Structure 1
Amino acid sequence: MKRRDFVGLTGLASGALFLPSFPSLGGDLVDPARLLETVDPAVKKRLADAALNAAKGAGASYADVRIGRYLNQSIFTREKQVQNIVSGESYGAGVRVIANGTWGFAATNTVTEAGLAKAAQLAVQIAKANAKVQKQPVQLAPQNGYGEVSWKTPIQQNAFEVPVKQKADLLLAANAKALENGASFVNSSLFQINEQKYFASTDGSYIDQDVHRIWPTFTVTAIDKATGKFRSRDAMSAPMGLGYEYLTPKAADKIPGPAGSDIIGYKNSFDILEDAATAAKQARSKLTAKSVVPGKYDLVLDPNHLGLTIHESVGHATELDRVLGYEANYAGTSFATLEWKAKNIPYGSKLVNIVADKLQPGSLGAVGYDDEGVKTRQWDLIKDGKLIDYQKIRDQAAIVGQKESDGCCYADSWNTVQFQRMPNVSLQPGKEKMSVDEMVSKVDKGIYIAGRGSFSIDQQRYNFQFGGQVFYAIEKGKITGMLEDVAYQANTQEFWNSCSAICDQSDYRLFGSFFDGKGQPSQVSAVSHGSATTRFNGVNVINTARKIG
């Protein structure tokens, strides 16, 4: 599938989360039936041993090999037509080594013992060449091998086993619901990813993992033919680390927004038909919504919206390679430097507790082991409003005086080298029982925001501006009507220190990014951000309407 076709067909909002090229969706086009094939772990072990032995024989002090089969299927529709169906496969191996204290990497799609041995020897040659300019030797955090182990995303129904026609019919049914409820145009898409990854290292690990992700989404547009004015609303779905069961809606997974908002949130399943109908009605209502008056407001932020703010202002800001300046050329740095952290400056109010993890069921980042063979875990980034840790991998731990990796190393393909990537980064829910209606009832002048819109943030992850999908005015504790042209501005410290209330666990939901970009050459990764509905006091709101003439 060509890049321009993808961009043209999806109709998704652009931004740092949705980059113009998607390696995880690459590979050779294949018959959908091929997507159900697997490779025997015993075969992969023989291949891995050939690479490890060749690397050690060539002079490597450490080596790891990743044998990966990356599968994807994407379905694109518009109104009453299926526009494209793409099934892809990418299969090969990457070998990473340390020789003379320096990293080397090589990859091959010749998946034979001879092919992997040749790649391993080349990786060692590259490492030795790199060593001539290396200033300090690589220092790896110790890691015990796990022997032969496996892990699989705990799915109930493999999306690749569901007939393509059934999935396309569901998207077309969602389009029909949108059109019936006032939409002028609608396009919908379904993305499915399966990473079959085998990791082996000279530490003694042989790890076989089967990772699944899915993302149903759409964009609905309503047009006022008399004025030519149009408004859109995207799906309130989240990409998830689940199987096709995510598209089998369960009543218990529906989380209503505050009274008067007609918002419905979704937890571990998504009702695409219901959301498409609601989206059409909301897009139509946005055509006549009142334009916001700029000023200071208390904001009540839905998890599907807040996840993006967490991603940009906390997730990226606490990546250690960004903090150290290693990502400055491509993705910027971070205000939350080691020196800043040492000053013990509050990152947020005492209600703000943010954890990183690679374990949460249903999340995009959930795996048993990372791409360095480290068993995954959960750890605190911000505790009671104070920054206490960063995101680290094996060759970064010693830099901050720690002895082990956090298990957040990842590569998006067998032919790309693994490096530090964001784990799931989530705001912990409030400890006291609180519903969204109770939160709204305590707001005198505010705005309720749901869904993600356009945004911008500076290269230090400090000054930012965020929009959304739908906005509702709050006056004296009640929703009083829909608003338009809303965006809020703040800096990271100011914003998180204004956090005044968080709903409890019953309201907790995941937002996610399928295509989070980083690195040169660029790679993408998938990551989730959980939160409950949260209130921020006295945030600056601007009017984004553009007036001509």
Structure 2
Amino acid sequence: MIKNSDKLNKGGTLKRRDFIHLSGLGMGALVTSGFLLNGNPVSAAQLLHPGLENAEKKTLADIALNAAKSQGATYTDVRIGRYLNQFLFTREKNVQNIANTESYGVGIRVIAEGTWGFSATNDVSPDGIKKCAETAVAIAKANSIMQKEPVILAPVQGVGEVSWETPITKNPFEIPVADKIDLLLSVNAAAMDNGATFVNSNLFMVNEQKYFASSDGSYIDQNIHRIWPTFNVTAVNQSEGKFRSRQALSAPMGMGYEYLDGLASEKIQAPAGLVSYRNSYDMVEDAVAAAKHAKEKLSAKSVTPGKYDLVLDPDHLGLTIHESVGHPLELDRVLGYEANYAGTSFATLDKWRQGDFKYGSDLVNIVADKTQSKSLGLTAYDDEGVKCKEWDLIKDGVLVNYQAIRDQASIIDESESHGCCYADSWDSVQFQRMPNVSLKPGKDKLSAHDMIKGVEKGIYIVGRGSYSIDQQRYNFQFGGQLFYEIKDGEIVGMLEDVAYQSNTQEFWNSCAQICDKDDYKLFGTFFDGKGQPSQVSAVSHGSATTRFNGVNVINTGRQI
């Protein structure tokens, strides 16, 4: 809490510019909107501090590698991590919170006596790192009592000393906090001026500075940036006691502040007069549209349940991909190693081994990839020092592979890791995490407008909404943000109370058309949870507008 009474105006409230200044000095850990912001509070200026030189990191890493080896480790990796966050929150005309945090330390993972051991410390000194390495080996030896089979790692060739960073043109932390707050408040004002009753806007900026070293001979320095501007707009009909909301149609991206330039050349004119954004984002323009949509939803017709052809925009389809393809093809879920947090998977090894399991129609080609430009998963090497790549998960509708890391690869007869190992902090042990999982665009020229012309009875759905899916990632229900009725090839009006139900295999086998690459864009999430203790990761899902035939639609029957 800020207790500097000299900064209060006569009305007893903090002036906005003073709030920004004081908040920039650090306000502690933040829990809001279900997101946990970890780290120590720092000044906004501290976020731009360069940190240790690579030569210093290498010296510290070598101390850990040598100490672990001397205690009997047969493999060691060291991650020196500096994790920086700036999260901004506003509502209507007010700044709600600004948090700048830094988390800094080292995590050391070893194999000793055929068993994993892990230890972490924020004492990033030679003595602290040596003790941490020795502790990791002691933990591995203690764990070995319960180990039935030794850990088998897929081989990795050491790469020596290399560096990589997200290709950005504007470091978000270099933009003054006051300018970013002004943007958010202008978003709020634009929404209010166009009929919104309530609006909150947020800006999340993340910088991961990660140094990885291993006994395989790699010393990898990576500097990763991500950004997510978002808001929620609500319109109220007070006479009827109703309200409706619309969230931002932005996607979090692996980009810098240039994402908020809102270049006209980056817009896609979508059906129903919607503007879709790719590689840049006009937050104010989207807020104006959101206010109008929220008002329109107040009087929209309630959907009639039944079978419809669905035309799903990438801003919506990305979440369905995430839940029905991304998670069930994580190999630890398939094997049952991951069960407590969000379940296992229906896509068991026997289905993969049969070689012809039809996950989807022949049009469905889904790839995993951590090298996709501007994506949240974009990086050169994973947290095991494995070079990242693209690989097929579903090819021509057939299940062909999973997501596997070094100690899983041999289980599915792979000779190398897929490069999808990740830890969300220096004090978290790295494990298999979802890479970008994306539906390839169609090969034939086809726009979303042309797709709709061929639909006799359907619904066009935009934006993520509420959803549910069972513990095997099979039976599901998805909502959305905006719904438009399609009759005889034309959009005839907005609908409300829409959700569709299906199971994963039935749904993907109903895929009938996919727009081409000109319609392709990314969806994403900053906060994909997994594991116990839980970790979060950032992941994107690319797709073009896609048609699914004969899907069951229900009326959610909200009475507000």
- TM-score w.r.t. structure 1 length? 0.96
CA deviations on 1:381-430 (whole Å, 9 max, x unpaired) are: 00000010000000000111111000000000000000000000000000
Give the match for residue 99 of structure 2.
86
Pair 1:6-2:32 in alignment: yes
Equivalences for 1:341-490 in 2 at 5 Å?
Answer: 341-343=352-354, 344-490=356-502
Pair 1:54-2:67 in alignment: yes
Q: Distance in 1 between matches of 2:249 and 2:115?
A: 46
CA deviations on 1:489-523 (whole Å, 9 max, x unpaired) are: 00000000000000000000000010000001000
- Residue 136 of structure 1, aligned match among 121, 132, 149: 149
Opposite residue 32 of structure 2, the aligned amino acid is F
Q: Distance in 2 between matches of 1:349 and 1:117?
A: 54
Q: Secondary structure at the match of 1:86?
A: strand
> Is the contact between residue 109 and residue 117 of structure 2 (CA under 8 Å) also seen in structure 1?
yes
Pair 1:214-2:240 in alignment: no
Pair 1:248-2:261 in alignment: yes
Q: Distance in 1 between matches of 2:478 and 2:191?
A: 26
Give the match for residue 283 of structure 1.
294
Opposite residue 170 of structure 1, the aligned amino acid is L
Opposite residue 215 of structure 2, the aligned amino acid is T
Q: Distance in 1 between matches of 2:275 and 2:556?
A: 25
Give the match for residue 7 of structure 2.
none
- Residue 72 of structure 1, aligned match among 62, 75, 85: 85
Pair 1:545-2:527 in alignment: no
> Is the contact between residue 197 and residue 208 of structure 1 (CA under 8 Å) also seen in structure 2?
yes
Q: Secondary structure at the match of 2:32?
A: helix
Q: Secondary structure at the match of 2:407?
A: coil
Q: Distance in 2 between matches of 1:316 and 1:184?
A: 37
Q: Secondary structure at the match of 2:179?
A: helix
Q: Secondary structure at the match of 1:482?
A: strand
Give the match for residue 518 of structure 2.
506
Q: Post-superposition shift, 1:2?
A: 7.5
**RMSD of aligned Cα (Å):** 1.0
Give the match for residue 213 of structure 2.
200
Give the match for residue 15 of structure 2.
none
Q: Distance in 1 between matches of 2:359 and 2:325?
A: 9
Opposite residue 172 of structure 1, the aligned amino acid is L
Q: Secondary structure at the match of 2:146?
A: coil
Give the match for residue 339 of structure 1.
350
Q: Secondary structure at the match of 1:131?
A: helix
Q: Post-superposition shift, 1:546?
A: 3.3
- Residue 310 of structure 2, aligned match among 280, 299, 306: 299
Q: Distance in 1 between matches of 2:415 and 2:153?
A: 9
Q: Distance in 1 between matches of 2:386 and 2:514?
A: 33
CA deviations on 1:3-62 (whole Å, 9 max, x unpaired) are: 88512xxxxxxxxxxxx453xx31000000000012211111011001000000110000
> Is the contact between residue 311 and residue 425 of structure 1 (CA under 8 Å) also seen in structure 2?
yes
Q: Post-superposition shift, 1:74?
A: 0.5
Equivalences for 1:161-200 in 2 at 5 Å?
Answer: 161-200=174-213
Opposite residue 134 of structure 1, the aligned amino acid is Q
> Is the contact between residue 488 and residue 540 of structure 1 (CA under 8 Å) also seen in structure 2?
yes
> Is the contact between residue 3 and residue 21 of structure 1 (CA under 8 Å) also seen in structure 2?
no
CA deviations on 1:290-326 (whole Å, 9 max, x unpaired) are: 0000000000000000000000000001000000000
Q: Distance in 1 between matches of 2:326 and 2:275?
A: 26
Opposite residue 323 of structure 2, the aligned amino acid is E
Pair 1:121-2:147 in alignment: no
Q: Distance in 2 between matches of 1:279 and 1:130?
A: 54
Opposite residue 532 of structure 1, the aligned amino acid is A
Give the match for residue 102 of structure 1.
115
Unmatched 5+ stretches in structure 2 = 1-26
Q: Distance in 1 between matches of 2:170 and 2:340?
A: 42
Give the match for residue 112 of structure 1.
125
Q: Distance in 2 between matches of 1:349 and 1:157?
A: 42
Give the match for residue 534 of structure 2.
522
Q: Post-superposition shift, 1:342?
A: 2.2
Q: Distance in 1 between matches of 2:433 and 2:274?
A: 33
Give the match for residue 8 of structure 2.
none
Change (3 A) 1:404 1:302: same
Number of residue pairs matched by the alignment: 532
- Residue 332 of structure 2, aligned match among 286, 297, 321: 321
Change (3 A) 1:282 1:348: same
- Once the two structures are overlaid, the 10-residue window that deviates more, 207-216 or 337-346, is 337-346
Q: Post-superposition shift, 1:360?
A: 0.5
Q: Secondary structure at the match of 1:334?
A: coil
> Is the contact between residue 29 and residue 101 of structure 2 (CA under 8 Å) also seen in structure 1?
no
> Is the contact between residue 358 and residue 399 of structure 2 (CA under 8 Å) also seen in structure 1?
yes
Q: Distance in 2 between matches of 1:386 and 1:425?
A: 15
Q: Distance in 2 between matches of 1:243 and 1:329?
A: 35
CA deviations on 1:321-353 (whole Å, 9 max, x unpaired) are: 000000112221110000122232200000000
Q: Distance in 1 between matches of 2:28 and 2:246?
A: 26
Give the match for residue 31 of structure 1.
43
> Is the contact between residue 430 and residue 504 of structure 1 (CA under 8 Å) also seen in structure 2?
yes
Q: Distance in 2 between matches of 1:518 and 1:112?
A: 31
> Is the contact between residue 92 and residue 415 of structure 1 (CA under 8 Å) also seen in structure 2?
yes
Opposite residue 237 of structure 2, the aligned amino acid is D
Q: Distance in 1 between matches of 2:35 and 2:369?
A: 27
Give the match for residue 9 of structure 2.
none
Q: Distance in 2 between matches of 1:402 and 1:285?
A: 52
- Once the two structures are overlaid, the 10-residue window that deviates more, 324-333 or 168-177, is 324-333
Give the match for residue 76 of structure 2.
63
Identity of aligned residues (%): 69
CA deviations on 1:419-453 (whole Å, 9 max, x unpaired) are: 00000000000000001110000000000000000
CA deviations on 1:107-151 (whole Å, 9 max, x unpaired) are: 000001111111000000000000011000000000110000011
Q: Post-superposition shift, 1:255?
A: 1.0
Unmatched 5+ stretches in structure 1 = 8-19
Change (3 A) 1:3 1:478: farther
Which of 1 and 2 has higher RCO (CA within 8 Å, sep 6+)? 1
> Is the contact between residue 266 and residue 278 of structure 2 (CA under 8 Å) also seen in structure 1?
yes
Q: Distance in 1 between matches of 2:352 and 2:103?
A: 42
Q: Distance in 2 between matches of 1:378 and 1:303?
A: 20
Q: Distance in 2 between matches of 1:379 and 1:499?
A: 21
Q: Post-superposition shift, 1:256?
A: 1.6
Give the match for residue 18 of structure 2.
none
Give the match for residue 12 of structure 1.
none
Q: Post-superposition shift, 1:179?
A: 0.4
Q: Distance in 2 between matches of 1:330 and 1:197?
A: 26
After the TM superposition, which parts of structure 1 deviate over 4 Å for at least 4 consecutive aligned residues? 1-5
